[in-house]
Amino acid sequence: MVTIIIVLKSIVIGALVGFGVGAGAARMFHAPNVQGMGAFRTFGELNACAGDPISHFSFGLGFLFNSWASVVGAGALTQDVDHRVIPNWAAAILLWKNKNVEETLHNPKRMAFAGALVGVVVVTLLNSTATAIPQSMQLVATKVLVPAANWLINPIMPIVFWMAALDAGKRTGIWGTVLGGMSHLVMGNAVPGIVLGILIGKGLDDSGWNRITKTMVVAVALLFVLSGFFRAFDVALLKSLQVEIPQWLVELHETFGSAVKK
């Protein structure tokens, strides 16, 4: 009885999640003119499969085994279901019939419905199967795919975005370098910072210092300050400079629920 309830709920959840992920992923290909939703790694990986349905399918399959092991072991689906399995399988389904990525992978409507279909199948399957998957498949996922994907995120993607920023002109190169380095320090990955650098640099090239570009710089500064605070970068910085952490800062962190380790 419990299994049936889980299956029914999973169908609803899978459809909702798949619909959103599919539409968001297709919209990423039109960013930043259209607001997309997903992740830079998803974007890079979708591009890596270059519109080939078999590649999209096998990439998703590899991570499905990983998620399967995780859900059987701990009840956690992993972030890969939304980041990798659903977008890649939705792409694979659409590309099977039509190899033109403009009409398939880049189309939010088609990706939303394909994503919903994949979401229903994948989420229901993962949540309802308690049987373990073959150990050997799980090992390929964790020992081969996970390290490769991690390298792509760091350092490959930061380097490629960095080079693109440097090649796009002096202003973009400087903003990209400074914000990229700071982003790697504060947020753990340089890509968001470099993208912000390209955004500001190109914005300045095109329209100079006006209300919009000034607002953006302020927003970016705010983003760095708040990210730094919530990730306790301020404390780590003071510590690495051998500076005593002031009591008010410790208390400030405590009010937001994060305990500062001495």
Rounded Cα gap, residues 133 and 141, in angstroms? 12
Q: Which residue, 181, 63, 107, is CA-closest to 71?
A: 63
Among 132, 156, 178, 237, binds another protein (CB under 8 A): 156
Compute the least distance from the CB of residue 120 to another protein, in Å. Answer: 11
Of residues 123-142, those binding another protein (CB under 8 A):
123, 126-127, 134-137, 139-140
Q: Is 114 in the site for another protein (CB under 8 A)?
A: no
Residues in the chain: 262
Among 105, 117, 118, 172, binds another protein (CB under 8 A): 172
Upper half-sphere CA count for residue 174 (Cβ side, 13 Å): 5
Query: What does the buried/exposed string (b/e) look like for 74-98 if buried means 16 or more CB atoms within 10 Å of the residue's CB?
Result: eeebbebbbbbbbbbbbbbbbbeee
Compute the least distance from the CB of residue 242 to another protein, in Å. Answer: 26
Options 69-77, 95-103, 233-241, 243-251: segment touching another protein (CB under 8 A): 69-77
Rounded Cα gap, residues 47 and 43, in angstroms? 6
Of residues 1-40, those binding another protein (CB under 8 A):
2, 5-6, 9-10, 12-17, 19-21, 23-24, 27-28, 30-40
Options 93-101, 196-204, 241-249: segment touching another protein (CB under 8 A): 196-204
Of residues 43-62, those binding another protein (CB under 8 A):
43-50, 52, 54-59, 61-62
Q: Which tokens is 10 given?
A: 């999973």
- Residues 73-102 as x/- pattern, contact with another protein by CB under 8 A: xxxxxxx-xxx-------------------
- Supply the DSSP symbol for 94: H
Rounded Cα gap, residues 74 and 247, in angstroms? 39
Compute the least distance from the CB of residue 93 to another protein, in Å. Answer: 15
CB 181 within 8 A of CB 216: no
Q: Is 249 in the site for another protein (CB under 8 A)?
A: no
Residue 55 makes CB contacts below 8 A (sequence gap 6+) with 48, 49
Q: Is 233 in the site for another protein (CB under 8 A)?
A: no
Q: Is 255 in the site for another protein (CB under 8 A)?
A: no
Q: Is 104 in the site for another protein (CB under 8 A)?
A: no
